[in-house]
Amino acid sequence: MPRFEGFVPGRFPLDAIGAGGFRFAEMSHKGSIIATPIGIRIWPVTRFSEVTIESLQPVLDEAGTIDFLLIGTGADIAFIPPALRDPLRQAGITVEGMATGAAARTYNVLVGEDRRVAAALIAVD
C-alpha cells in the first residue's frame, strides 16, 4: 500500500483508523489528517490541546463548500471551545467534537450521503 505524502485530491471515505493513523484512497498515513471536499491532507496535530483556529485554516479556506466540521478529538471526547467554534460558525460551519473513531464513522456516513462535510481527525492507537 503506498504511503500518503501530504495531500491527495478528491473525496474519499476512510477505510480504517487506528494504529496511529488512517487508510484511505488505497494509501496509509501515520498521524492526523484533515479531510475536506477537495482532498485529504496531513494535519500536524497530535493532541486536542494543539488544535487552533490556525490549524483549521484548510477548513476555513473551503468554507463555501462545507456545512459541518467533525473534529476527532482523540481517544476521548473534548469540549470545543468558543475560540474554535465561533470563527467556524461565522464562516457558516457547524462544528461537532467527538472521539476520533466516532468522528471517522460519522464522516463516512455523511460523505456517503454526499453531504458538505469535513473532518479534522487526531490519530489514535
Using one digit for the tens of pLDDT, what is the confidence trace for 53-94?
999 999 999 999 999 999 999 999 999 999 999 999 999 999
Q: Is pLDDT of 1 > 60?
A: no
- Name 124's Cβ contacts closer than 8 Å, sequence gap at least 6: 17, 18, 20, 72, 74, 75, 99, 100, 101
CA distance 106 to 57: 22
Query: Taking residues 32-50, what's their average pLDDT?
Result: 97
Q: What is the pLDDT of residue 39?
A: 95
Split at pLDDT 50, 70, 90, the class of 47 is: very high
Q: Is pLDDT of 5 > 90?
A: no
Higher-confidence residue of 93 and 3: namely 93
pLDDT digits (tens, 9 = 90+) for 97-117: 999 999 999 999 999 999 999
Q: What is the pLDDT of residue 6?
A: 86
- Name 59's Cβ contacts closer than 8 Å, sequence gap at least 6: 34, 36, 66, 69, 88, 93, 118, 120
Q: What is the pLDDT of residue 4?
A: 57
